[in-house]
Chains A and B, each alone.
Chain A
Amino acid sequence: MGHYVARRLLQMIPVFIGSTALVFLMMYALPGDPVRALAGEQYSDPVQIAALKAELGLDQPIWLQYWDYLTGLVQGDFGRQIASGRPVADVIAEAWPVTVQLALFALVFTTVVGISLGVIAGLRPNSLRDRGLLLLTLVLVSVPSFVLGRMAQYFFAFQLDLVEPNVSLDESWTELLLPATVLGALSLAYVARLTRTSVAENLRSDYIRTAIAKGLPRRRVIGVHLLRNSMIPVVTYLGTDLGTLMAGAVVTEGIFNIHGIGNLVFDALGHREGSTVVGVVSLIVVVYLICSLLVDLLYAVLDPRIRYA
């Protein structure tokens, strides 16, 4: 077990370096100039621009810039924002908890509602409620999250007056419920479908027949025998989902005006603040990698036949 975790952690290093390098390259190698963006439309002295570039290290070759960035990142130094001069770590630390909260709400909502719906439908394959769920998930997958967000805002804020259209600066958890539901809607559909397929398939298996035959109460058959075995594909999906939800928050945060990392990246892209963008994406990559490791470890808990040496 310890060896397995160590090996997996080591394997993460090249993926982490590769992903950050790719984003770094996309950010810096493509046209667009952060120093010029700072000056805006106004005329600016080329000498001044060159000096500022030298100070920020932007005149170095790209691989050297990346090396400097990476060595800083490993030591916890995310660099400074060009326009405000604030350390990027502080800026991210401010926005990070908001998005984590939003994504976790969405994840809990997705898990609870998705699995329940999937089990309800999967227990009676091809029944009316099964087809109903199929239709519901198809609609949820088809409606892009920006449409869903705007529609939710229109009905709940403008028609029914239940909530404010924009989330206030306090970002209290009740305000985050609607955005989290919108954010989690797509995953909800996938989780419900995965659970449904898996439950319907396992329902025909020998161990379920045995469990029923030996007279176990229905609750135990479904709650322990069936659910535990049906959870493996769902857990796989949910594990990689936290990273996706945090990245997907850029749309939801934009719609409901939440000051999380999605909004941060969006603003930073507008000002070509490379260090902020690469910093946030690197952190999301880390979340994604750690979650996929946790998922693999969870397999062993769900299915005792899986052993990691």
Chain B
Amino acid sequence: MPEKTAVDSQNSKVADTPVPATVEPETGNGTGKARSLWSDAWHDLRRSPLFLASSLLIVMLVTMAVFPSLFADGSPTEADLANNYLKPPNWSHIMQPDWFGYDIQGRSVWTRMVYGARASILVGVLVTLIVTAVGSVLGMLAGYFGGIWDTLLSRLTDIFFGIPFLLGAMVILTTFDKRTVWVVILAISFLGWTTIARVARGAVISVKQADYVVAAKALGASTSRILLRHILPNALAPIIVVATISLGGYIGAEATLSFLGVGLSEPVVSWGVDVSRGFQSIRNAPYVLIMPSVLVSITVLSFLMFGDAVRNALDPKLR
């Protein structure tokens, strides 16, 4: 046995070395070397200003979500009525608690904005992960096996598409008395998985007749190997595009539900709740409403820009 492995490794070494030698001259005089979709996309992304700007913002927002104390002093729930909203913002005190003034209960608007990032980003990222996992597994199985499973999934997605997202989420969420981050995540995921399932199903159907899949089948590869090693990598691009684009939408959905009073509730700090509350003082202290509004919009914008950049890089039709 050891002898054989030695021979094997030697064989592979022998086989390995000549390959670059034969390939290099080919690519050297060609117009450019053949790159995979992924390295091509990465090549494009690194040069896209949209991608660079949005990544920078996202890195900042994620840092804010993980280490809020780096950005703001004090606690978001600490209320000092001596500091109530009659005390205006101090625009020169950058990143100090009084930067954007205080709300009606004397809580720092800036500190609450910083601490609100956690819930929003947690909901956005986790919903995207859950929805992508569930949707792509169901979509792949339905697309690959076809028949009754496909019909079942298609009808099920039809039914979910008929229900308006916002109303459906409101119906689910109002049945819970204690609405934690997890409840909100599950409610949005429950209504959101169908989009990815449809995309995954379509992508799998378009590649399952490809020669390499037929070849793998002819070589006797198992179903799981065909699905995971041959179909999934080739159907992944559209799934990733839809997932990254919807991330911003999920963050917006969480904020909207919280704004309506059916999403996150105290003591969780949520931008939606703060915007909703900010209206109370719109005449005396509009900044209490405006500042968190701007931050929600910037967050959704950066994730959407990120999704747009990923789509531009991955969608060959747009080249």
Contacts and interface: CB of A to CB of B under 8 A. Distances in A.
B68 to A, nearest CB: 22
B129 interface: no
B168 A146 contact: no
Interface string A137-162: 01101111111001101100010000
Nearest to B174: A269
A250 B167 contact: yes
A280 B167 CA distance: 10
- Mostly helix, strand, loop or mixed at chain B's interface? helix
Contacts of A142: 248, 252, 297-298, 300-301, 304
B122 interface: no
A203 interface: no
Contacts of B167: 247, 250, 265, 277, 280-281, 284
A185 to B, nearest CB: 12
B94 interface: no
Interface string B149-170: 0000001101110111111101
Contact of B297 (A143, A153, A254, A272): A143
A246 B166 CA distance: 11
B164 A247 contact: yes
Contact of B272 (A26, A139, A146): A146
Contacts of A288: 162, 164
A277 to B, nearest CB: 6
B290 A269 contact: no
A97 interface: no
B300 A144 contact: yes
B72 interface: no
Interface in B256-314: 256, 259-260, 262, 272, 275-276, 278-279, 282-283, 286, 289-290, 293, 296-298, 300-301, 304-305, 308
Contact of A150 (B163, B174, B293): B293
B259 A270 contact: no
B171 interface: yes
A30 interface: yes
Given A144-B296, A146-B255, A18 B308 contact: no
A247 B165 contact: yes
Interface residues of A, number: 46
Contacts of B293: 147, 150-151
Given A251-B260, A266-B260, A15 B171 contact: no
Contact of A266 (B156, B170, B282, B286): B170
Given A19-B163, A243-B164, A284-B164, A154 B171 contact: no
A18 B255 contact: no
Contacts of B222: none
A241 to B, nearest CB: 11
Contact of A31 (B164, B175, B305): B175
A18 B155 contact: yes
A222 interface: no
B9 to A, nearest CB: 53
A146 B166 contact: no
A15 B301 CA distance: 34
Contacts of B262: 269
B289 A150 contact: yes
Interface string A1-44: 00000000000001110110011001100111000000000000
Nearest to B297: A143
A244 B155 CA distance: 20
A138 B255 contact: no
Contact of A146 (B176, B177, B259, B301): B259
B95 interface: no
Nearest to A142: B301
B172 interface: yes
Given A14-B155, A251-B260, A266-B170, A147 B301 contact: no
A86 to B, nearest CB: 21
A158 B279 CA distance: 11
A138 B176 CA distance: 34
Interface in A236-294: 243-244, 246-248, 250-251, 254, 265-266, 269-270, 272, 277, 280-281, 284-285, 288-289
B282 A147 contact: no
B233 to A, nearest CB: 28
A30 B175 contact: yes
B275 A147 contact: yes
A199 to B, nearest CB: 16
B300 A250 contact: no
B283 to A, nearest CB: 6
A23 B171 contact: yes
A138 B276 CA distance: 24
Interface string A155-184: 000100000000000000000000000000
A254 B260 contact: yes
Task: Return the 9 tightest CB-CB contacts between A and B, nearest first.
Answer: A247-B164, A142-B301, A18-B159, A30-B175, A19-B162, A147-B293, A146-B259, A269-B174, A142-B300
8 contacts: A19-B159, A139-B297, A139-B301, A150-B278, A158-B282, A269-B171, A281-B164, A281-B168
Interface of A: 14-16, 18-19, 22-23, 26-27, 30-32, 138-139, 141-147, 150-151, 153-154, 158, 243-244, 246-248, 250-251, 254, 265-266, 269-270, 272, 277, 280-281, 284-285, 288-289
Given A144-B296, A145-B256, A147-B275, 15 more contacts: A15-B158, A16-B162, A19-B163, A26-B175, A138-B304, A141-B304, A144-B297, A146-B259, A150-B293, A158-B283, A246-B164, A247-B164, A251-B166, A254-B260, A281-B167
